[in-house]
Structure 1
Amino acid sequence: MARTRVRIASLGPLLALSAALLFTAGCGEQAPARSSDGKGAAGPSVVVTTTWEGAFARAAGAEDVTVIVPRSVHHAPDYDPKPSDLAAVAGADFVLYAPFEPYAGKIKEAAGSKAKLVEVNLDNDPDRVRAEVTRLAGLFGTGDAAAAWRKGFDREYDRLGGELKAAWPGGRSPVVVTQVFTAWSAKLAGVTPVGTYGPEAVTPAQLAELSARKPGFVLDNAHMSTGTVLPDSGAEQVEIVNYPDESLDLVEVYRGAAAELKKALGS
C-alpha cells in the first residue's frame, strides 16, 4: 500500500470541466477508450487512478486500461485531473481506485459516468494479490485470463524466492526490519521481519527498540521514505518500490524488489 495521510486536491475545477465535457459529448460521437498501448481492445473499458490499480486490472485480464495519474506524481491525491481524464472516465465501464484516493468518486460524478466504482486493496502480499486479481476478474468477466496470469505469477514468484534464499549470507536468514507496506518483500525472500515501523514517523522509543534487535537490513518504502530509518544501527537500508511502471506489469515489481534485495544480500 501507500501513504494513508493525504491532501485532497480541490475539485472545483472538475465540476467546471464536467460541464464542458457533457457539452462536447452532445456535439458528436465520443471516441472509444483506448488501452495503454493506444490500440482498441475487447472487453471492459477500465480507468484507474494509478499504475498500481492498473497493474491489478491488467493481471485480472483487462486489456483496455487507462491510467489517470502519471507515475511521476509521487502522491496521487495531489494530481489535478485534466478534461481528457474526465473524458476517459465518462466512457469507462469500471473506475478503480484506492481508499487513500477519496476524490475518485467525485471524479466519476463530475464526469457523469455510469461506470462501476471499484475500491482496490493495494497490497503486494502474494496471497492478497491472488485474491484481488480473482475478485476483479469476476467483475470483468475475464476469469480465464486471470487464471493464466496467476499461474505465471506463481512460477516467477517461486523462482525469485528460490534465488533470494540461495543468496542468504552464510545460508542463514538475514535479520530484517520492514516498513509496514514493504513486508511483502521480506516474505518474497523467505524472511520473517523482527520488527516493523510506519506509516507514521519512527519515534525515539521505536528507534531504540528496533535498533536493539540488531537488524542487518531495513526494507524501506520508497514512496514514503523519510531518510535513514535506523541511523547508527549499522543496518543497510534497501528501498522497495510498490508501484509498477507504465507497462502495468505487476510481476516486474517483484523482480525489481528481488534485484535490490540480492544486491544488498551480496554486499
Structure 2
Amino acid sequence: MRWSRTVVALTATATLVLSTTGCGSTDADPAPSNSTGAPAGGPAVVASTTWVGALAKAAGIAEVTVIAPANVQHPPDYDPKPSDLAAVADADYVLYAEFDGFADRLTEAAGGDAELVPVQLENTPAVITAEVTRLGELFGTADAAAAWLAEFDSTYAELSGQVKAVTVEPRTAVSHLFMAYWAEFAGLQVTGTYGPAPVTASQLAELTAVKPAVVLANAHLPGANPDVDGATRVDIVNFPGADLDLLAVFRNNAESISAALAGP
C-alpha cells in the first residue's frame, strides 16, 4: 500500500561520521548496504547512492535504504546484486541520479508500484535547497525539510567563512570538472579545470603554468587527478558515508581545504 502523502513530518537526524574510502562490498553483505536505522512508519524510500539518500534524509525521511554501499569509491559505477535490488520491489519511492550507471536496472526492478524520482546532484546551496524542498513536498515532510535547510544554511555560512579566513596567496585553484563548484565555497578562483577525460601531457603543462595554490581533486576518481608542481592536492568528496550526513561532507571538505591552504 502506498504511503499517504499527508504523513506527519519526520525530523531528520544527523551524525558526524564520514566514510568514503574502499572499493566495493563483500559477498557477505546480502542486502542493501545502508540504512539510517530509524524507526519504521514512514514511506519506504530506496536511494541509489548515499548522496541521493542524504537528500531524502535531509528532506525528512527517517529511514532510507541505499543500494550502493558507502565504502564504494565511485558509487555510480556499483554493480548491484539481485539481493540489493530486492528491496526496490517494496519501495514507495525510488530515488536515483540519472548519471548512475545502474539507474536502468534500478528503475526496471521498481516495476510499476514505486514512484521513480530522479534527483539532481550538486553540492551547492541552490541545488541542495531546491532538491530538499522538492522532496519534502513530495513526501509530505516539508516542515522537517525546512528545519534541515535552516541548519544547512547556517553551517554552510560558518564553514565557508572559516575556509575563506585562511590567508594564502595566490588564492587560485585548478579543479576536476565535477569539483569546481567547491572553489566558491572556499573563496578560490578556478584558473583551470580537467576531466572527466584523462589528463594529457599538454593539459598538465597548461595546469602547471597557471601556478595554482591547490588542486581540487575528485576523491571518488583518484586516478583521474594529476600532480601539479607547486600546488597542494586536496581530495574533495561529494558522497556522504553510511550515516547519510550531508553536512559532514561540508565539514570534511572545509577541514581538508583549510589544511591545504594553511600549508605545513
For normalisation by structure 1, the TM-score amounts to 0.79
Could you tell me which runs of 5 or more consecutive residues in structure 1 were left unpaired when the two chains were aligned.
Answer: 1-34
Residues 1:122 and 2:118 aligned together: no
Point out the structure with max Rg over C-alpha. 1
AA at the equivalent of 2:172: V
The residue correspondences of 1:1-267 to structure 2 (distance < 5 A) are: 36-76=35-75, 77-83=77-83, 85-110=84-109, 112=111, 114-169=113-168, 172=169, 174-226=171-223, 229-231=226-228, 233-267=229-263
Task: Give deviations 1:220-261, integer Å, cap 9, x for gaps.
Answer: 000112265144x21111111111011101010000000101
Residues in 1 aligned to 2:194 and 2:247: alpha-carbon distance in whole angstroms: 25
Distance in 2 between the 1:228 and 1:97 partners? 26
Change (3 A) 1:110 1:189: closer
Deviations 1:170-196 (A, max 9, x none): xx5611111111123211112221121
Superposition deviation, residue 101 in structure 1: 2.0
SS at match of 1:181: helix
Q: Write the distance in 2 (CA, Å) between the matches of 1:81 and 1:192.
A: 42
TM (norm. structure 2) is 0.80
What is the CA distance between 1:111 and its match in structure 2? 5.3
Q: Distance in 1 between matches of 2:174 and 2:106?
A: 38
State the number of aligned residues.
230
Q: Distance in 2 between matches of 1:103 and 1:230?
A: 31
What amino acid is aligned across from residue 82 of structure 1 in structure 2? P
Q: Equivalent pairs: percent with the same residue?
A: 49
Structure having the larger proportion of residues in helix? 1
Q: Distance between the aligned counterparts of 2:242 and 2:70, measured in 1?
A: 7
Question: Could you tell me how far 1:113 is from its partner in structure 2?
Answer: 5.3
Contact 1:164 1:258 in 2 (8 A): yes
Cα root mean square deviation, aligned: 2.1
Residues 45 and 63 of structure 2 are in contact (CA less than 8 Å); yes or no, is this contact kept in structure 1? Answer: yes
Unaligned runs of 5+ residues in structure 2 are: 1-33
Runs of 4+ in 1 over 6 A off after TM superposition: none
| Shift in Å, 1:209 | 1.9
1:105 Cα deviation after fit: 3.8
C-alpha spacing 1:78/1:227, structure 2 compared with 1 (3 Å)? closer
**Structure 1 residue identity aligned to 2:261:** L
Q: Secondary structure at the match of 2:244?
A: coil
